[in-house]
Amino acid sequence: MALPEPGPRRRLHTRRIEAEGYLRDDGHFELDATLVDLKDQDYEILSGVRAAGSPVHQMRVRLTIDKRFNVLDAIADTEWAPYTGYCETIAPAYRQLVGLNLFQGFRKAMRERFADVHGCTHLTELLLTLPTVALQTFATLIREDDSGDRKPYQLDRCHALDSAGAAAQRYYPRWYRPHVPGETE
Protein backbone atom coordinates (compact mmCIF):
# COMPACT_ATOMS: atom_id res chain seq x y z
CA MET A 1 0.00 0.00 0.00
CA ALA A 2 1.38 3.39 -0.96
CA LEU A 3 1.24 6.42 1.27
CA PRO A 4 -1.95 8.43 0.81
CA GLU A 5 -1.75 11.50 -1.40
CA PRO A 6 -0.76 14.46 0.76
CA GLY A 7 -2.71 17.64 1.08
CA PRO A 8 -1.24 20.99 0.09
CA ARG A 9 2.22 21.38 1.51
CA ARG A 10 5.64 22.92 0.90
CA ARG A 11 8.86 20.98 1.34
CA LEU A 12 11.32 22.62 3.72
CA HIS A 13 14.02 20.02 4.23
CA THR A 14 15.57 17.00 2.54
CA ARG A 15 17.87 14.46 4.15
CA ARG A 16 19.59 11.98 1.88
CA ILE A 17 21.36 8.96 3.26
CA GLU A 18 23.19 6.75 0.83
CA ALA A 19 25.18 3.68 1.74
CA GLU A 20 27.15 1.31 -0.46
CA GLY A 21 29.00 -1.92 0.23
CA TYR A 22 32.12 -3.00 -1.65
CA LEU A 23 34.26 -6.12 -1.83
CA ARG A 24 37.94 -5.23 -2.00
CA ASP A 25 40.55 -7.23 -3.90
CA ASP A 26 42.15 -8.27 -0.59
CA GLY A 27 38.91 -9.95 0.55
CA HIS A 28 37.92 -7.23 3.02
CA PHE A 29 34.82 -5.11 2.63
CA GLU A 30 34.26 -1.37 2.67
CA LEU A 31 31.02 0.31 3.67
CA ASP A 32 30.70 3.91 2.50
CA ALA A 33 27.85 6.07 3.74
CA THR A 34 26.92 9.69 3.12
CA LEU A 35 24.42 11.98 4.82
CA VAL A 36 23.33 15.23 3.17
CA ASP A 37 20.86 17.79 4.55
CA LEU A 38 19.45 20.38 2.16
CA LYS A 39 17.01 23.27 2.52
CA ASP A 40 14.64 24.41 -0.21
CA GLN A 41 15.06 28.04 0.67
CA ASP A 42 17.96 30.16 1.86
CA TYR A 43 18.74 29.08 5.39
CA GLU A 44 20.05 31.58 7.89
CA ILE A 45 22.20 30.16 10.67
CA LEU A 46 24.54 31.96 13.05
CA SER A 47 27.57 31.11 10.93
CA GLY A 48 26.01 32.61 7.78
CA VAL A 49 23.40 31.96 5.13
CA ARG A 50 23.27 28.69 3.23
CA ALA A 51 21.80 29.20 -0.20
CA ALA A 52 18.81 27.05 -1.08
CA GLY A 53 20.06 23.68 -2.35
CA SER A 54 23.48 24.01 -0.69
CA PRO A 55 24.28 21.39 1.92
CA VAL A 56 23.80 22.27 5.56
CA HIS A 57 25.40 18.93 6.40
CA GLN A 58 27.40 16.64 4.16
CA MET A 59 29.21 13.90 5.99
CA ARG A 60 30.81 10.66 4.94
CA VAL A 61 32.01 7.57 6.74
CA ARG A 62 33.90 4.51 5.57
CA LEU A 63 34.29 1.33 7.55
CA THR A 64 36.60 -1.45 6.45
CA ILE A 65 35.42 -4.79 7.82
CA ASP A 66 36.45 -8.42 7.57
CA LYS A 67 34.26 -11.46 6.87
CA ARG A 68 33.32 -11.68 10.55
CA PHE A 69 32.03 -8.05 10.60
CA ASN A 70 35.01 -6.79 12.64
CA VAL A 71 35.88 -3.14 12.02
CA LEU A 72 39.45 -2.95 10.70
CA ASP A 73 39.47 0.75 9.83
CA ALA A 74 37.12 3.71 10.30
CA ILE A 75 37.24 7.08 8.62
CA ALA A 76 34.81 9.97 9.06
CA ASP A 77 34.77 13.23 7.14
CA THR A 78 32.64 16.36 7.39
CA GLU A 79 32.54 18.32 4.14
CA TRP A 80 29.71 20.67 5.06
CA ALA A 81 28.48 21.59 8.53
CA PRO A 82 26.89 24.63 10.14
CA TYR A 83 29.93 25.48 12.24
CA THR A 84 32.94 25.20 9.94
CA GLY A 85 36.14 24.90 11.90
CA TYR A 86 34.35 23.18 14.78
CA CYS A 87 32.03 20.41 13.57
CA GLU A 88 34.65 18.59 11.53
CA THR A 89 37.15 18.40 14.38
CA ILE A 90 35.35 15.37 15.90
CA ALA A 91 35.89 13.16 12.82
CA PRO A 92 39.17 11.57 14.06
CA ALA A 93 37.39 10.34 17.21
CA TYR A 94 35.51 7.84 15.06
CA ARG A 95 38.71 5.81 14.74
CA GLN A 96 37.55 4.40 18.10
CA LEU A 97 35.33 2.09 16.06
CA VAL A 98 38.34 -0.02 15.05
CA GLY A 99 38.13 -3.35 16.83
CA LEU A 100 34.34 -3.34 17.26
CA ASN A 101 32.09 -5.91 15.64
CA LEU A 102 29.03 -4.69 13.72
CA PHE A 103 26.83 -7.43 15.22
CA GLN A 104 28.21 -7.72 18.75
CA GLY A 105 27.33 -4.60 20.69
CA PHE A 106 28.10 -2.08 17.95
CA ARG A 107 25.13 0.22 18.53
CA LYS A 108 25.64 0.17 22.31
CA ALA A 109 29.34 0.96 21.87
CA MET A 110 28.41 3.83 19.56
CA ARG A 111 26.10 5.31 22.21
CA GLU A 112 28.78 4.92 24.89
CA ARG A 113 31.61 6.43 22.86
CA PHE A 114 29.85 9.20 20.97
CA ALA A 115 26.95 10.39 23.13
CA ASP A 116 26.33 14.09 23.50
CA VAL A 117 29.49 16.21 23.11
CA HIS A 118 31.70 13.17 22.50
CA GLY A 119 30.54 12.78 18.92
CA CYS A 120 28.59 14.27 16.06
CA THR A 121 24.88 13.46 16.09
CA HIS A 122 24.82 13.16 12.30
CA LEU A 123 27.91 10.96 11.92
CA THR A 124 26.71 8.70 14.71
CA GLU A 125 23.25 8.39 13.16
CA LEU A 126 24.82 7.55 9.81
CA LEU A 127 27.04 4.87 11.33
CA LEU A 128 24.06 3.21 13.02
CA THR A 129 22.79 2.17 9.57
CA LEU A 130 25.95 0.25 8.70
CA PRO A 131 25.28 -3.13 10.36
CA THR A 132 22.31 -3.72 8.06
CA VAL A 133 24.25 -2.34 5.10
CA ALA A 134 26.98 -4.89 5.88
CA LEU A 135 24.41 -7.67 6.06
CA GLN A 136 22.95 -6.70 2.69
CA THR A 137 26.45 -6.46 1.21
CA PHE A 138 27.30 -9.97 2.38
CA ALA A 139 23.91 -11.28 1.24
CA THR A 140 24.91 -10.40 -2.32
CA LEU A 141 27.56 -13.13 -2.12
CA ILE A 142 25.50 -15.82 -0.42
CA ARG A 143 23.02 -18.01 -2.24
CA GLU A 144 19.68 -17.90 -0.47
CA ASP A 145 18.35 -21.39 0.02
CA ASP A 146 17.04 -23.77 2.63
CA SER A 147 19.55 -26.58 2.18
CA GLY A 148 22.17 -25.91 4.86
CA ASP A 149 22.53 -27.43 8.30
CA ARG A 150 22.18 -24.03 9.98
CA LYS A 151 19.05 -21.96 10.29
CA PRO A 152 19.27 -19.14 7.72
CA TYR A 153 20.47 -15.95 9.37
CA GLN A 154 17.47 -13.88 8.35
CA LEU A 155 14.91 -16.10 10.12
CA ASP A 156 13.51 -14.62 13.33
CA ARG A 157 15.15 -11.26 12.63
CA CYS A 158 11.99 -9.48 11.45
CA HIS A 159 8.22 -9.76 11.48
CA ALA A 160 7.92 -11.29 8.01
CA LEU A 161 10.50 -14.00 8.66
CA ASP A 162 9.22 -15.27 12.00
CA SER A 163 9.97 -19.00 11.91
CA ALA A 164 6.37 -19.56 13.07
CA GLY A 165 4.96 -17.42 10.24
CA ALA A 166 3.55 -18.01 6.79
CA ALA A 167 6.67 -16.75 4.96
CA ALA A 168 8.89 -19.25 6.79
CA GLN A 169 6.38 -21.99 6.08
CA ARG A 170 6.45 -21.13 2.37
CA TYR A 171 10.12 -20.29 1.77
CA TYR A 172 11.92 -22.12 4.59
CA PRO A 173 9.74 -25.16 5.30
CA ARG A 174 12.55 -27.08 7.05
CA TRP A 175 12.84 -24.30 9.61
CA TYR A 176 9.15 -23.59 10.02
CA ARG A 177 8.04 -24.05 13.61
CA PRO A 178 4.34 -23.40 14.16
CA HIS A 179 3.54 -21.45 17.28
CA VAL A 180 1.96 -23.62 19.94
CA PRO A 181 -0.66 -21.72 21.98
CA GLY A 182 0.34 -21.45 25.62
CA GLU A 183 4.07 -21.85 24.93
CA THR A 184 6.33 -19.01 25.90
CA GLU A 185 9.29 -18.04 23.85
- pLDDT > 90: what percent of the chain? 79
Task: Write out pLDDT tens, residues 148-173.
Answer: 788 887 888 889 989 999 999 999 99
User: Taking CA 11 as the corner, what is the angle to CA 82 and CA 8, rounded to the nearest 5 degrees?
Assistant: 160
> Taking the domains of the chain in order of start, what are their residue ranges?
13-139, 144-185
- Taking the C-alpha atoms of residue 40 and residue 124, their distance in angstroms, rounded to an integer, is 25
Question: Phi first, then psi: what are they for 65, rounded to 5°?
Answer: -130, 160
List, for residues 118-135, the tens digit of each pLDDT value. Answer: 999 999 999 999 999 999
pLDDT by residue (tens digit) across 36-60? 999 999 999 999 999 999 999 999 9
Whether the per-residue pLDDT at 185 is higher than 80: the answer is no
How far is residue 123's CA from residue 90's CA, in Å, rounded to a whole number?
10
Q: Please, what is the end-to-end C-alpha distance for the chain in angstroms?
A: 31
DSSP 87-118: GGGGGGGGGGGTT-BTTSSHHHHHHHHHSGGG
